[in-house]
Amino acid sequence: MDRSAVTRPGERPPLSAALEAVLLVTDEPVPASTLAAVCEADIGEVEAQLDALARGYRDQDRGFELRLVAGGWRLYTRADCAGYVERFLLDGQSARLTQAALETLAVIAYRQPVTRSRVSAVRGVNVDGVVRTLQTRGLITEAGQAPGSAGTLYRTTPLFLERLGLRSLDELPPLAPLLPELSEFADLDDASLSR
């Protein structure tokens, strides 16, 4: 093991590690300027490190790649590996939902239509991966854009009702009082929630 690569307590991790950590949790391209601000680093250094990471992933023949698209950086599954990911997600249709997925689905069901950032605010954790899983399983779908923001709205699908044996959302049990009111988050816009 290369001891020089280990971060000691109190030390900052290498810039490449910080960039990877941020890129792993984003579901949309992130501009280098945003990454520089988050990582408290010079934008030129960040851009050089992003180029090096992208080249390194390619050279190492990884199952993912780092691409600059739409003015930002994002990790993507390599095209020749996409079939495996699809099979994993679709074959998992019969698998039970995780606790995180159930909680996220409950927030969406009771607060729909709702943005991902608001679901994250209610749950207190990043829900990007869970939302993608729920979409892949056909339990939620996009429902347009939130007024006054670029946030995508999500709602449950007829399959959700079918799986729960409900005719309509009106038949959901009265769980809503256990969830925080969205008005508690009204002063936060989607951009500030996604930071």
Average pLDDT of 11-35? 91
Q: Classify 35 as helix, strand or coil.
A: helix
Instruction: Write the CB contacts of 22 (distance below 8 Å, at least 6 apart in sequence).
Output: 30, 35, 38, 39
Structure pTM? 0.50
pLDDT of residue 116 exceeding 80: yes
Measured CA to CA, the distance from residue 164 to residue 92 in angstroms comes to: 18
CATH of domain 96-193: 1.10.10.10
What's the pLDDT band for 178 if we cut at 50, 70, 90?
A: low
The verdict on domain 11-80 having CATH code 1.10.10.10 is yes
CB 19 within 8 A of CB 34: no
Query: Mind listing the pLDDT tens digit for each residue in 48-89?
Result: 999 999 999 999 999 999 999 888 999 989 999 988 887 776
Measured CA to CA, the distance from residue 76 to residue 179 in angstroms comes to: 34
Domain ranges of the chain: 11-80, 96-193
Note whether 11-80 and 96-193 share their fold. yes
Measured CA to CA, the distance from residue 90 to residue 127 in angstroms comes to: 19
Sheet containing strand 152-156, strands side by side:
114-115, 152-156, 140-145
Average pLDDT of 115-127? 89
